[in-house]
Amino acid sequence: MIYSMTCYGNEFKLNKKTRIDVEVKSLNSKNADIQLKIPAKFKSKEMELRSYINSKLIRGKIELNVNISSRDDDNSFIDEEKVENYFKSFSRFDKLSKKNIEYLKIILQLPGILKNVNEICEEDEWKDIMWAVSNAIKKSIEFRKIEGEIIENVIKNYLKSISKEVEKINKKLLDRNNKKRNNLLLKVKELSNLGSYDEVRFEQEILYYMEKYDISEELDRLKGHCEHFISTVNNDYPNGKKLGFILQEMFREINTMGVKSNYFDIQMSVIQIKDDIEKIKEQIYNIL
C-alpha cells in the first residue's frame, strides 16, 4: 500500500474555559522535518509532541499548529498570592489602614499580578491538546491513504506500459536476430566466393557478437524488478525509499539494453520505458 507524504488534518476540542484548535499539514521531504507552533506555556512538552508526531507521520515536511482561545469574554484573573506578598511588603513601611487602598492600586499595576488563563499550563488541558492532535493526525493519515491510492493507480498504469514495451522488445528481438543472422550469412557467402576463410575466427566473431548484443538477461532482470516493485507496493509500508532503489535498478537494466540493442525498433521501446520510469520517479518523490 502506498501512502502520500502530502496530508492535511484538523481537530478542535472544547472544555469549560478554552477552545483548542489543532491543524496538521505535510509536504514531501527526504526525512522528518517537524515544525511546531504551540503556546509558550507548553514548550516543556515540545519533545514529547515531536516524538509522537514522528512515530505517526514518519516522514515529510510536517507543520503542526496548536491555537488556544478563551471561551470567556474576560480571560484574566488576579494572582491573589502575589498580591498578598506585595501587600505585606508595602505594609512594612506604613501600617495605617487608610493607605491600604493606595497600596492596592499600585500593586495591581505591578508585573505578574494580572494573568491570562492561556498562560497557565494545566495537565488536563494538555490531555485535551493531545486528544485533538491525535485526531488531527488520524485525519492526516487518512488523507495520505487517499492520495496514495491515486498515486498507486498512476504508477501501476506506467508499469503496465513498461510491461507492454518489454513484450514488444521480445518480439522485436526475434526480428533483430533474424536480420543479423541473414547479414552474417551474406558475409559468409561473400567470403566463400573469395575462397577459403578462417572458420575458427569466424566462429569467434559470431560468439563475440552474440555476447555483445544479447539483452535476454537484462530483460529477465527488468521483469523481475517490475514484479518486485508491485510486491513492495502491495505489501510493504512505508515503502517510498525502497521503491526508489528498485527504480534505480530498473533504469540501470533498461539503459544497458539501449546500449546493447543495436536495433532502431528496440531503441524506440527503450526510450518509452525510460520515459515511464522517469514519470514513476516523479511520483515516488511524494511517497512515504
In this predicted model, what pLDDT tens digit does every residue of 15-63 receive, in sequence order? 888 899 999 999 999 889 999 999 988 999 999 999 999 999 999 999 9
What does the pLDDT read at residue 209? Answer: 72
For CATH 3.30.230, list the domain ranges present in the chain: 7-73+122-146
Flag whether pLDDT at 180 surpasses 60: yes
CA nearest to 34, candidates 22, 52, 21 = 52
What does the pLDDT read at residue 196? Answer: 64
Cell numbers 512538552 label which residue?
45
Burial profile 187-202: b = 16 or more Cβ within 10 angstroms, e = fewer: eeeeeeeeeeeeeeee
What does the pLDDT read at residue 34? Answer: 95
**What CA–CA distance (Å, rounded) separates 121 from 119?**
6
Flag whether pLDDT at 235 surpasses 90: no
Which whole number is the average pLDDT over 267-278? 94
Burial label, 70 (beta-carbon count in 10 A; 0-12, 13-18, 19+): middle
CA nearest to 272, candidates 152, 153, 163, 150 = 163
Show contacts of 103-112: CB within 8 Å, 24+ apart.
107/83, 108/78, 108/83, 110/82, 110/86, 112/79, 112/82
- Quick count: other Cβ atoms within 10 Å of Cβ 275? 14
**What CA–CA distance (Å, rounded) separates 60 from 7?**
9
- Quick count: other Cβ atoms within 10 Å of Cβ 50? 16
Asked if 133 and 63 count as a contact pair (C-beta separation under 8 A), the reply is no
Query: What pLDDT band is residue 280 in, cutting at 50, 70 and 90?
Result: very high
Which whole number is the average pLDDT over 232-244? 85
Choose between 95 and 234: higher pLDDT: 234
**What CA–CA distance (Å, rounded) separates 217 from 233?**
24
What does the pLDDT read at residue 96? Answer: 44
CA nearest to 159, candidates 71, 42, 243, 52 = 243
User: For 7-73+122-146, CATH number?
Assistant: 3.30.230
